[in-house]
Structure 1
């Protein structure tokens, strides 16, 4: 049988984890996470990590594998995920990859381009201006200067926006230019499944999940990583809003509402990203039997 990686992707709160675990059990294999934040040990609530029971159901890679003191990026992820595959393929023909970080999945499937070096002065200047003027300045600058990138960007992720602006300042070219290298060929097959849900169900899932995060102690989790607030993984939805609350800029109910709104917007951008790739076969996340039947058919060809 040809070595195969089954990718389960889609927006946040669409049911990826449950689907990936079911499929991994079907093939008696392991799951490689493709989430840029769940690898950090210190942040579990705001990243919607699989529960201890889910983690015990099948072996998982790239969850709780790093410390928030480290920076992990798509280039590192590509190398790590290929190593994880090698390990799984030593005893199994199938591996499952699951997550919503589109850039990580793309890096794994196609390789990732080398990014240009950014002069320290450029980086410092942008960091200072962001500290002074906030995320709206980053959004406005990129919308004006690089509208094509901005259209598909994670616009509530200052780290991604600052990176794009740094490349623009340092090279005079859009970061998109450096993301168009020749696709690398992998010596295994990749089957991609995209999960979606009707909008009202997805939004309901998101709202419920955010309320559960708050009940589970999200504020205390964010308080515990306050010293690392400039880390890429913490400049994201669920953390920036609580930092704002802890800074006294928002009430807690406002912060919670912001997390819900920003998560819904993020889910929409994730869908846009994944739908641009014609390689995905899309299913309603509730269609478990149809997914399994289609997958079996693919594995037999």
Structure 2
């Protein structure tokens, strides 16, 4: 369906609508989000846990200046690395962004690969206890010294119920669970409820993915482009904040290891590619657990546009 035809088609839903575009890194989410935002003259809310930080752009694969100029974006460069942003903060911010967009539009676009943030926006997130200063720093230091296997061992021993369902390859999630355990003496699972928040808007969930070989090719090309764009210099500029959760992630941790003499630069780049492929696999696992997603190949955007238009013509 072309742009003029889409503009003529009346959206007959009695609710405002958020179209969520999710999927693994390097699958083409940004391009699709911009295409849909232009089609419906609306804005994009980022659902990426790192692109909100002004100080890190290359390693987070932010939209280009041209892409940011094409349509309005929320939650890009909105915070400093000095600030703490989590899923609870994101829930409140994203709901306000949606309200702002809905003042003038019937449709908003949400785009990103941070599944926990998207779930918080759609369903709400439980209040978690405050963590005393120093607990996270100590756990991060222990993780640095002993590695992922130590985190896994600690949680399996101390909180087997959580560990049984945890993302055991995600150090941030494991550290968070240990933080809560140490601060309260209780499992993080005791602070979770099964109650989903009710939203006053409709959500349409789109998942996109490429054949594995193409996705891996995109990932490798992206990492090479990051290196050419100055990733090493960017990581060097944020060394004082290296304990921040946003920097304990792929693309930054490997370069820190290079600075520390643990890796050659060549090996660091190789590890970034490997760890990014692993991260993409974890993203897919997360999103595929949600049966509300409708999956598409992003190489055929017209198919997605037509499907979205059909959904918007159906009553909620």
How high is the TM-score relative to the length of structure 2?
0.89
Cα distance in 1 for partners of 2:155, 2:213 equals 31
Q: Is the CA contact 1:4–1:189 (under 8 Å) kept in the aligned structure 2?
A: yes
Residue 212 of structure 1 deviates from its aligned partner by: 0.6
1:154: how far off? 6.6
Say if 2:239 is the partner of 1:236. Answer: no
Determine the structure 2 residue equivalent to 1:203.
Answer: 216
Alignment of 1:189-268 (within 5 A): 189-268=202-281
Q: Distance in 2 between matches of 1:151 and 1:184?
A: 22
Deviation track 1:153-199 (CA, whole Å, cap 9, x = no partner) reads: 2725x333211122234455543453433101000101000011111
Return the index of the structure with the highest Cα Rg: 2
Q: How does 1:89-108 map to 2 (within 5 A)?
A: 89-108=102-121
Alignment correspondent of 1:138: 151
Unaligned runs of 5+ in 1: none
> Matched residue pairs, number?
300
Q: How does 1:1-301 map to 2 (within 5 A)?
A: 1=13, 2-120=15-133, 123=136, 125-143=138-156, 145-146=159-160, 149=163, 152-153=166-167, 155-156=169-170, 158-171=171-184, 173-301=186-314
What CA distance in whole angstroms lies between the structure 1 residues aligned with 2:64 and 2:168? 26
CA offsets per residue over residues 246-300 of structure 1, 9 Å max, x none?
1111000110011111111110110010111111111112121111111111000
Q: Is the 8 A contact 1:46 1:239 kept in 2?
A: yes
3-state SS in 1 of match to 2:108? strand
Do the aligned partners of 2:257 and 2:263 also contact (CA within 8 Å) in 1? yes
Unaligned segments of structure 2, at least 5 residues: 1-12
Q: CA RMSD in A?
A: 1.9
CA distance in 1, matches of 2:187, 2:285: 20
Relative distance call for 1:120 and 1:62 in structure 2 (3 A) is closer
* Cα distance in structure 1, aligned partners of 2:132 and 2:160: 20
